[in-house]
Amino acid sequence: MVSKSDQLLIVVSILEGRHFPKRPKHLLIVEAKFDGEQLATDPVEHIDQPEFATELAWEIDRKALHQHRLQRTPIKLQCFALEPVSSAKETIGYIVLDLRTAQETKQAPKWYQLLSNKYTKFKTEIQIGIALETDTKAPMDSFKAKGAPPRDGKVPASLSGLDPKDIVVVLNEEGGYHQIGPAEYCSDSFIMSVTIAFATQLEQLIPCTMKLPERQPEFFFYYSLLGNDVTNEPFNDLINPNFEPERASVRIRSSIEILRVYLALQSKLQIHLCCGDQSLGSTEVPLTGLLKKGSTEINQRPVTVEGAFILDPPNRAKQKLAPIPVELAPTVGVSVALQREGIDAQSLIELKTQNEHELQHSKKRVLTPIKEKTLTGPKSPRVSPVPPQNPSPPTKDDATGSEVESLQYDKDTKPNPKAVGPSVPASVAQPVPASHASETASGQKIAVPATSHHFCFSIDLRSIHDLEVGFPINCILRYSYPFFGSAAPIMTNPPIEVRKNMEVFLPQSYCAFDFATLPHQLQDTFLRIPLLVELWHKDKMSKDLLLGIARIQLSNVLSSEKTRFLGSSGEQCWRQTYSESVPFIAAQGSNNRIMDLSYTVTLEDYGLVKMREILVSDSSQGLSAVQQKPPSVPPAPCPSEVQTEPRETLEYKAALELEMWKEMQEDIFENQLKQKELAHMQALAEEWKKRDREREALVKKKVAEYTVLEGKLQKTLIDLEKREQQLVLAESEVQRERKELKLERERNLQELQDSIRRSKEDCVHQVELERLKMRQLEEDKLRLQQQLNDAENKYKILEKEFLQFKDQQSNKPEIRLQSEINLLTLEKVELERKLESATKSKLHYKQQWGRALKELARLKQREQESQMAHLKKQQEELEQMRLRYLAAEEKDTVKTERQELLDIRNELNRLRQQEQKQYQDSREIASGKLDSPRGNALEEGLDDYLTRLIEERDTLMRTGVYNHEDRIISELDRQIREVLAKNNASN
């Protein structure tokens, strides 16, 4: 017999509602709570008949279900009215479901009325179904970052006496470890660690309809490791999630075989991205790849499962969300490691560094500081996120180079302050003139991430030419590219005059930017954001005027040829240079070309940078440092001098020193204001860049959604065109059929009119014929009437003559004798007829008697062969039946038959007497065959009774209802035998 699964699902189906008042600016939501776990439906419109169409499920085993049923644990459903703007929830009512009504057989849903209903004038109801389903979830074999073996929950032969249900996690607080399995099997110590290293594209998990808290929301990753709830440090920016990689580790006491069985049973680690108590997305990390069957790798080195896993929003199928492109899919970098406690952590670092060298082809790697977190028991209240859906399997190729590098281990390194995010440039660059491009000044120190590259990007706006407008312009060029680290605009100076048909070279148009960022981020930024160069007309008499804008696509430099050169420290560097001309397009009015700009851009890659601090150059600080030096004190005047110059007196020098001090303080104050302005400008630039990135991310997401919607719209339009063509064809077909029907109707109408006309003509002709016949018949009638009158007159005359003749003849004796002879002749003929009838009846009775004898012989043979025993057993019952059912009928029948026999006997006696008198020969023949009149009458009565019994029995048998074993047929057979016996005895 197949045992039922111990894991069940309590499924509550919330289908629809009715009798709700319509509230346009509100939504309806139903929250269900069972055993401390709360689930909720998706918000729906607050209308009269809302459709929820949601299933809520709780996992439970049969033992716990039995306990809940004994305790009568309820399932409470609360209905709320949700205001989308303020997110305020208003209680409408609640419903309490009895868990004991849930059965494993499918039941029809029922309508439940809301208790404590806010809408007292409405009988508000919700249609709910509750059922139990067997939990048959199978592991998703395709969901894995590395090759993972299929799930195997069987106990190996060495542990044949161990039940998989006994392999549970038990916390040993004294020893500070978690024990998996029975104590007698737990002989080895292990360390399991989970590291969340990075995350990308998290903004894709925020639906457009979701309203985040007005204050700066905090996001964090949550997962449960051997019953311990773990969350990482919260972060606020979804577009550039900036958090330190954290590793949570637990000590385990178990054995390799038991641990392999446990990991097969608990095959996946669920990781949720949460905001407060709400899960924005989740993924599952397979754990079966840690301990593969038959592998002894853990005895030499730690085993890991790592990669970039795609986060899926909850209820993707129910929300009918469009699929997200792979390049925009939200991912989280996770590494799960398992090692024996005796293996040094340094070997793990060396192993991972070696693997990364093989993957990245000898690129230099720097270990990222990882925050350690050791778990010895439950630490924080568990977050109850929405149950995740099955995510699609990510691949390791989805991770960028920096993401792979961040999956490093450095147990001895102390965590450093959070570095600047990868999308934020690491240094703030200032425009450098061509003659001072190599100078360096001291300034603000900014930390650069270890995975960034050191780039130097230079822009040289060479010349402008081919002026299209008819008047000369006094122009400057202006541009700004915050990605290079400076939000301040770069401008050429001084203004230059440009006329038609001339080329002018721009002064002070070279600028170089030193910054650090990730290569893929540089490429992405250059592809997405072009450099906009503004053309301004400077006029002393009027305000500056923006004439046009030139778009420089910086990604072109990435496709140019690379040249190698040696840096200042002897390292190999790469340089790419690109030159072209772009047009200035009019900023206002028609998009006409104003003139062309020739430029040259150069990108130099100095390779990876280490953790170091880059100085922010500021030309004003150098000047301040010089001015802050106190002036040297002049030597005291010689007392021997009698005459002193006015400029060398102490008062003059004191006044001069005071004025210089004032000027120096003014310069210091001015420099401080410039520094504050620069700091504010940098803060504004950072905020602007952040908002710009958010807008770009939202635009990307909207573009992806609109692309999907555009595809659906195109498909719908194609379907509509096909449908319109079909409708046109159908309409033309209808028009054709309508014309045919109209012609058919006219033809039928014409035929009907012709038929009516012909019928009228036939009727008129028929009436004329009938009138002619009528006149003819009237004439015949008159003629026949006349003949009838003549015949009647003749009849009367003949009748009178016949009466007279009759009277004359009746008086003659011959006539009277003749009449007597005629009467006797008639009587004779009648007697002969009766004699012939009696003779025929006698022959018929003899034939029936012969048939009865044959039937009797067959009945005797049948009874002797098959029914002798059965007839003997039922003889008494048949006798009672005969007395009960046939008594009344036999009485009437006997009386009637007796009367008939007496009449027949009297008639026969009378006939015999007449025959004896008239026909002596016939009497002798009759007296020779019939012994006596009494015996003949008795014999003929028995023959009639026997014939009637046989016919009655045959009639019943022909109906098919009775057979020879039935009582009534047996009774008739018995009576037939008795009559035959009497007849034989009389013969």
Per-residue pLDDT of 634-687, as tens digits, reads: 333 433 334 556 667 787 778 888 888 888 888 889 888 888 888 899 888 888
3-state secondary structure of 98: strand
Q: Report which residue type is found at 144.
A: K
3-state SS of 624-668? HHHHCCCCCCCCCCCCCCCCCCHHHCHHHHHHHHHHHHHHHHHHH
Task: Compute CA distances 372 → 193, 196, 349, whole Å.
Answer: 10, 11, 15
pLDDT score for 987: 65
Handedness of CA 771, 776, 777, 783 (dihedral sign): positive
Mean pLDDT by 10 residues, the chain (987 residues): 64 92 89 90 91 91 86 90 86 91 87 91 92 66 36 51 72 82 82 88 72 67 86 82 82 85 83 84 86 76 86 64 69 88 52 42 37 52 36 36 34 34 36 35 40 86 87 89 84 88 87 88 90 89 86 92 83 90 85 89 84 38 34 38 61 82 86 88 87 85 88 92 92 93 93 93 93 93 93 92 81 76 86 88 83 80 75 73 71 74 77 63 41 51 82 81 81 88 78
Q: Are 389 and 312 in contact (CB under 8 A)?
A: yes
Q: Are strands 177-180 and 246-254 parallel, antiparallel or unpaired?
A: parallel
The b/e string for 382-409 (b: 16+ C-beta within 10 A; e otherwise) is ebebbbbbbbbbbeeebbbbbbbbbbbb
DSSP class per residue in 296-307: -GGGTS-EEEEE
pLDDT score for 303: 85
Q: Which residues pair with 511 in a beta bridge?
A: 459
Rounded to whole angstroms, the Cα distance separating 836 from 814 reads 33
3-state secondary structure of 162: coil
Chain-centre distance for alpha carbon 932: 107
Picking from 666, 682, 668, the residue whose alpha carbon sits closest to that of residue 446 is 682
Peptide bond into 494 cis (omega under 30): yes
Q: Are 227 and 380 in contact (CB under 8 A)?
A: no
pLDDT score for 920: 53
pLDDT score for 729: 93
Q: Are 652 and 700 in contact (CB under 8 A)?
A: no
pLDDT score for 407: 33
pLDDT score for 137: 52
Q: Report which residue type is found at 408.
A: Q
Angle at the Cα of 561 (from 556 to 567), degrees rounded to 5? Answer: 105
Tokens read off for 157: 């032969």
pLDDT score for 629: 35
pLDDT score for 357: 41
Residue 181 main-chain phi, psi, to 5 deg: 100, 175
DSSP class per residue in 394-451: P-GGGS-HHHHHTS---TTSPPPPPPPPTTS-SS------GGGTT------EEE--TT
97-109: per-residue pLDDT in tens? 988 888 888 888 9
172 CB-near residues (< 8 Å, 6+ apart): 178, 179, 253
Angle at the Cα of 556 (from 553 to 558), degrees rounded to 5? Answer: 130
Q: Which helix (H) or strand (E) holds 16?
A: strand 7-18
Angle at the Cα of 425 (from 424 to 429), degrees rounded to 5? Answer: 145
Rounded to whole angstroms, the Cα distance separating 33 from 42 reads 15
pLDDT score for 596: 92
pLDDT score for 600: 95
Picking from 376, 64, 144, 370, the residue whose alpha carbon sits closest to that of residue 244 is 370
Rounded to whole angstroms, the Cα distance separating 595 from 120 reads 75
pLDDT score for 393: 36
pLDDT score for 482: 87
Q: Are 495 and 475 in contact (CB under 8 A)?
A: yes
Q: Report which residue type is found at 410.
A: D
